[in-house]
Chains A and B, each alone.
Chain A
């Protein structure tokens, strides 16, 4: 409790720094591009079109059985890319902040937090693409759309927790960066982004038969994405298992992230 209070106090004191760092990243990302911020919308939209074409024509990954496949796919893409962008940029954040934290005292967790916030800002911008796509495909607007805030907020906390752990680990072992890239690629195929797990069959590993829809339940990202789809696309609201799994994963990841990060943070400055 005391710990959380200290964090909250620091957070309040350095809120402007956080704001300014996010602003800086934002300016630098779009500086010298003609379309600027519009890329936040255009990029996911174009990616979505590519994937829709690929998965519904060339590789028919059973996308045809899914109601409003473009929107279904886009939700998966947006949330998943928020997670990968957030975690992988948080991972390198301590190394990036080296010139600063070697000279001035700043609470170190500001840097991973800033990167995850920045990824969230990007993600929110790209929701414009989602709205556009929903209008284009004539998707219904449900009242449950407001409930989408829950999977979104819990996903943010989950990503922050994972990001903090990765940031701490990367300071000591740069290998983590390379491993994580491979891991997220594997994870992408297991997050039900472009398929419906219920339509997938089973596979065998070492003689035991595993069902895709069973195995995927162990992937937290699957729950965030499915929860978001349920509220925005299907209009069914959140089931209890969505509520508690999303919440629990977020709390666990964040608690673990904060503990790991806090234990190691005093040593960071000697290793970067």
Chain B
């Protein structure tokens, strides 16, 4: 059964050369016929199917559309064309602690963020100890979040987001936060979720991690699917790209520097 179905999705952004944020500017530009948008496709005709219980990785260079795809799947963006279907509940971990209020304490934020993710206060109360235990921040519960380090904020965020048993977990670069001890703990927690039948979609720049954890991998390049398949195969191809780039660089370095003369 496919948990996530992405069918021929394209996402177009209007990159206004200058954003018109006031009426005057807008009308002036409209009158002068300067209301031009540069169309930019972050995704073009992307299709993706993720089966139940699969650990799917998304790789690609910066700006290849990975995060845009995740945001479309989690409902933040509406695609310009194509359709997305997700079966079951989603826990989006696009950014850990999105929606934290830095003036509130960790305790208050756990409740606020939990409800952002659609949990009931009763459920959060039941799981409160588990969340705190996992984040290892019991001593700092009543400290406003603005006094936390970014790693501590991420710990709390991860603990809340994974306390439920979501059907689909969407994770954007989140495993790169925290110290290595916590990273291991996060990986462990994700495996636990997986064994409970959760489907995971992971974006990471750490190819080693992707290869280690994922079953299948999709490689995006400039908004299109370059390759999709088994983790080993795709990761090897992606690494080859790295070597190509490296050898190209070496070749460039070997060439004698051209000195411009006027």
Complex Cα spacing A104 to B103, Å: 20
Complex Cα spacing A208 to B121, Å: 61
Q: Are B23 and A17 in contact (CB under 8 A)?
A: no
Q: Which residues of A contact B75 (CB under 8 A)?
A: 105
Q: Are A28 and B116 in contact (CB under 8 A)?
A: no
Q: Which residues of B contact A104 (CB under 8 A)?
A: 74, 76, 92, 94, 98-99, 116-117
B107 to chain A, nearest CB (A): 12
Q: Considering residues A24, A103, A106, A270, which has the most beta carbons from chain B within 10 angstroms of its beta carbon? A: A103
Q: Which residues of A contact B26 (CB under 8 A)?
A: 173
Complex Cα spacing A21 to B115, Å: 9
- How many cross-chain pairs have Cβ atoms below 8 Å apart between A and B? 72
Complex Cα spacing A102 to B72, Å: 11
Which residues between 253 and 272 of chain A lie within 8 Å of chain B, taking CB atoms? 266, 269-271
The answer to the question of A16 belonging to the interface, with a C-beta cut-off of 8 Å to chain B, is yes
B contact residues, total (Cβ < 8 Å): 33
A sample of 17 more A-B contacts (CB under 8 A), given A19-B115, A104-B76, A270-B77, is A16-B120, A16-B121, A20-B112, A20-B115, A24-B101, A24-B104, A24-B112, A28-B103, A102-B71, A103-B92, A104-B99, A105-B75, A105-B76, A105-B90, A173-B21, A174-B21, A269-B76
Q: Considering residues A16, A21, A106, A173, which has the most beta carbons from chain B within 10 angstroms of its beta carbon? A: A16
Q: Is the interface of B mostly helix, strand, loop or mixed?
A: loop
B234 to chain A, nearest CB (A): 27
Interface residues, chain B, CB within 8 Å of chain A?
13-14, 19, 21-24, 26, 71, 74-78, 90, 92, 94-95, 98-99, 101, 103-104, 108, 111-112, 115-121
A9 to chain B, nearest CB (A): 13
Complex Cα spacing A175 to B24, Å: 9
The answer to the question of A27 belonging to the interface, with a C-beta cut-off of 8 Å to chain B, is yes
Q: Which residues of B contact A13 (CB under 8 A)?
A: 118
Complex Cα spacing A101 to B98, Å: 9
